[in-house]
Amino acid sequence: MKNNKTKLFSLTSKDFIVESFSGSGAGGQHKNRHPNCIRIKHKESGTSAQCTKHRSLHQNKQEAFLNLTKDTKFKLWLNQKIGEVIHGQESIEEKVKDSMRLCNLKIEGFSVVKDKWEKIK
């Protein structure tokens, strides 16, 4: 049986800010002198994760990306993005802007003369 997977969207290195820095604490000179710790930030969702656990930059990068994908804020962003792609959902701002058009609004004012609320044209 053939597995038919389609790509909804992709994330590239342009979607992330990746910074390396020198660690501190246990790990010896290699960890303290070399920029092998990593901090990753996803620009669109604002989620960030870091890892300073390993002496290897590659291992720290893998674990930081794994931690980023486990973050609740990133999961919410991912679900919203998938919903937009699958269902063609508008963003919340677009929905609010659409519902605030004059034809969708009922504007009333209080008439002192008639002592009641009336529709304003």
pLDDT in tens, 71-98: 999 999 998 888 877 776 666 677 788 8
Q: Minimal CA–CA distance to 117: which of 106, 105, 104, 103?
A: 106
Is the confidence at residue 41, as pLDDT, over 90? Answer: yes
In order of start, what are the domains of the chain with their CATH numbers? 13-91 (3.30.160.20)
The string of pLDDT tens digits covering residues 96-111 is 888 888 887 888 888 8
For 45, phi then psi, to 5°, come to -90, -20
How far is the C-alpha of 77 from the C-alpha of 64, rounded, in Å?
18
Question: What's the confidence (pLDDT) of residue 14?
Answer: 93
Helix 72-87 vs helix 57-70: angle between axes, to the nearest 10 degrees?
70
User: 109-119 burial string, b = 16+ CB within 10 Å, else e?
Assistant: eeeeeeeeeee
